[in-house]
Amino acid sequence: MPDVVVIGSGVVGAACAYYAARAGLTVTVVDRGPVAGGTTGAGEGNILVSDKGPGAELDLATLSARLWRDLAAEVAGGAERPFGDLVEYEPKGGLVVAETPGILNALTGLADRQRVHGVTAVAVPPEDLRAYEPHLAGGLAGGVHYPQDAQVQPMLAAAHLIRLSGARTRTGAEVTGLLRGAGGRVTGVRTARGDIPAGAVVNAAGTWAGEIAAFAGLTLPVLPRRGFILVTEPVPPLIRHKVYTAAYVAGVASDDAGLETSAVVEGTKAGTVLIGASRERVGFDRTVSLPVLARLAAQATALFPRLADVRVIRTYCGFRPYCPDHLPVIGADRRTPGLFHACGHEGAGIGLAPATGRLIAAAIGGAEPPVDPAPFLPGRFAA
């Protein structure tokens, strides 16, 4: 019997498995699909500190960014290459640009407050923007450079974290219920391919985590927030950083159910350019929306006019797992002993995964948490 069974092989479940194993626990990961086939397979892989205002999530993000950097440098498990190479870790840095002096004011104000929390933020006057990004549009009011922002290939990251954890992996096994013991304690999972008893169960089912909680009679308000990404044909290197407009910061934190978009543009090692980001609450509807794609295209070409003649070759969408208060749910569910949640990371699950894994490993093993876990505890939803 494993010490821990993790439901979900996305990047969050993978990080939980990895840090639990590092803490000496034996782990099994179950997923109804293949490894990392959920939202992780639709994410862009940015590890961002830049888009978070001061508060609990920023503390989690700065810790996580550091953990990713440390992980990237490790050469583990007899590998020939460092982990960072395997998962295409790129400490490329972020550049946030402001269209108007008013927006720039808000942006630099945010940067000032972020600095207090350990974020490196370098103000970039308009005349210097092209030294960072030669192909940026003219007429921008200025920007802020965030050297801590980085990127990984999220699926590779999840898959390699699971491999390094040494966890047993059961793909194609849907969890259909929770095993319960004395006092209602969760003692494992029921899957379509048999029961898996375990000392503790981690619910890392992403956007579907509410369904797992419901198996224990609990409500966990994790809901889908759809996002589309455009992918271009491969082009010679054009864009160096993750570049986005300051409007993105407002969109991330917004409560609006309607469509919000902001230009988020970056190049990849494969030569393609990734263009986001849209946010809408439309349930799990995968129908492609041309107006959304069009808006993403318009915003990207406004930011980088050189992209106008570059062709889009594909698009995909995913469903960010969000909670009403826009904070992830991490930690023991005091309502049900044996059950831990690690979900609801919205548009930041890749970035926040390692810190989440550390928190979960500490919670299960009774160790000292790396950051204050209180703001993330599931108890906040208890009626």
Partner 1 sequence: MRPYDLAVVGAGPAGLACAVAAGRAGLRVVLVDGGPRLGGQYYRHAPPSYRATRPGVLHHGWRTFAALAAALPALDVDVRLRHRVWAAETAPDGLRLHCLAGDREETPVTFPAARLVVATGAHDRVLPFPGWDLPGVLTAGGAQALLKGELVLAGRKVVVAGTGPFLLPVAAGLAAAGARVRGVFEAGRTAGLAAHPGILLAHPGKLAEAAGYGLTLAAHRVPYRGRHAVVAAHGNTALTSVTVAKVDAGWGPIPGTERMVPCDTLAVGYGFTPQLELALQLGCATRTDADGGHIVAVDARQATDVPGVYAAGESTGVGGAPLALVEGRIAGLAAAGRPAPARLLRLRARLREFARALHAAYPVRDGWRGWLRDDTVVCRCEEVPYARLREALALGAADARSVKLLARPGMGPCQGRMCGYAVGRLAGSPEGLGHRPIAQPIRLADLARFEGDPT
Partner 2 sequence: MNPLELVGASPEPPFEIVFAGTPVPAYPGQSIAAALQGAGIRAWRTTRVRARPRGLFCGIGVCFDCVVVVNGSATLRACLTEARPGDEVEPA
Ligand X SMILES: Cc1cc2nc3c(=O)[nH]c(=O)nc-3n(C[C@H](O)[C@H](O)[C@H](O)COP(=O)(O)OP(=O)(O)OC[C@H]3O[C@@H](n4cnc5c(N)ncnc54)[C@H](O)[C@@H]3O)c2cc1C
Residue numbers of the site for partner 1 (CB under 8 A)?
A: 9, 33-37, 41, 155-156, 159-160, 162-163, 169, 171-172, 230-234, 270, 272, 275, 287-288, 290-291, 293-295, 297-298, 300-301, 307-316
CB 45 within 8 A of CB 149: no
Identify which range of 43-51, 53-61, 96-104, 289-297 contacts ligand X by CB under 6 A: 43-51
- 309 lines the binding site for partner 2 (CB under 8 A): yes
Look at residue 345 and give the partner it binds from ligand X, partner 1, partner 2, none, a contact being a CB closer than 5 to 8 Å depending on partner kind.
ligand X
CB of residue 159 to partner 1, shortest distance in Å: 4
Candidates 2, 338, 351, 378; binder of ligand X (CB under 6 A) is 351
- 325 lines the binding site for partner 2 (CB under 8 A): no
Cα torsion 132, 350, 16, 117 to 10°: value is 50
Look at residue 129 and give the partner it binds from partner 1, partner 2, ligand X, none, a contact being a CB closer than 5 to 8 Å depending on partner kind.
none
CA distance 211 to 309: 44
Candidates 188, 349, 354, 357; binder of ligand X (CB under 6 A) is 349
Closest listed residue to residue 355, CA positions, set 59, 23, 5: 59
CB 167 within 8 A of CB 6: yes
- Our CB check for partner 1 shows the closer of 20 and 124 to be 20
Q: Which two tokens stand for residue 123?
A: 């103000």
Closest listed residue to residue 17, CA positions, set 223, 225, 170: 170
Candidates 2, 8, 188, 331; binder of ligand X (CB under 6 A) is 8
Candidates 255, 311, 368, 383; binder of partner 2 (CB under 8 A) is 311
CB 22 within 8 A of CB 70: no
- 11 lines the binding site for ligand X (CB under 6 A): yes
Binding mask 263-282 for ligand X (x = CB under 6 A): -------------x------
CB 6 within 8 A of CB 345: no
Candidates 42, 121, 275, 293; binder of ligand X (CB under 6 A) is 42
Q: What angle do CA 314, 72, 358 make, to 5 degrees?
A: 100
Neighbour-count burial of 283, counting CB atoms closer than 10 A to its CB (0-12 exposed, 13-18 middle, 19+ buried): exposed
CB of residue 214 to ligand X, shortest distance in Å: 10
Q: Which of residues 133-192 bind ligand X (CB under 6 A)?
A: 174-175
Q: Which of residues 212-241 bind partner 2 (CB under 8 A)?
A: 233-234
Closest listed residue to residue 150, CA positions, set 204, 94, 109: 94
Candidates 53, 101, 271, 305; binder of partner 2 (CB under 8 A) is 271
Dihedral sign, Cα of residue 161, residue 165, residue 169, residue 175: negative
- Our CB check for ligand X shows the closer of 175 and 179 to be 175
Look at residue 45 and give the partner it binds from partner 2, ligand X, partner 1, none, a contact being a CB closer than 5 to 8 Å depending on partner kind.
ligand X
Residue appearing with tokens 């898959």? 159
List the strands of the sheet with 175-180, edge to edge.
175-180, 186-191, 194-197
CB of residue 315 to partner 2, shortest distance in Å: 17
CA distance 10 to 151: 16
Other C-beta atoms within 10 Å of 366: how many?
7
CA distance 81 to 383: 49
CA distance 272 to 383: 47
- 58 lines the binding site for ligand X (CB under 6 A): no
CA distance 74 to 87: 12
- 229 lines the binding site for ligand X (CB under 6 A): yes
Neighbour-count burial of 306, counting CB atoms closer than 10 A to its CB (0-12 exposed, 13-18 middle, 19+ buried): middle
Look at residue 94 and give the partner it binds from partner 2, ligand X, partner 1, none, a contact being a CB closer than 5 to 8 Å depending on partner kind.
none
CB of residue 304 to partner 2, shortest distance in Å: 16
Footprint on this chain of partner 2 (rule: CB under 8 A): 233-234, 271, 309, 311
Residues interacting with ligand X, by CB under 6 A? 7-13, 30-33, 37-40, 42-46, 174-175, 204-208, 211, 227, 229, 276, 318, 320-321, 343, 345-351
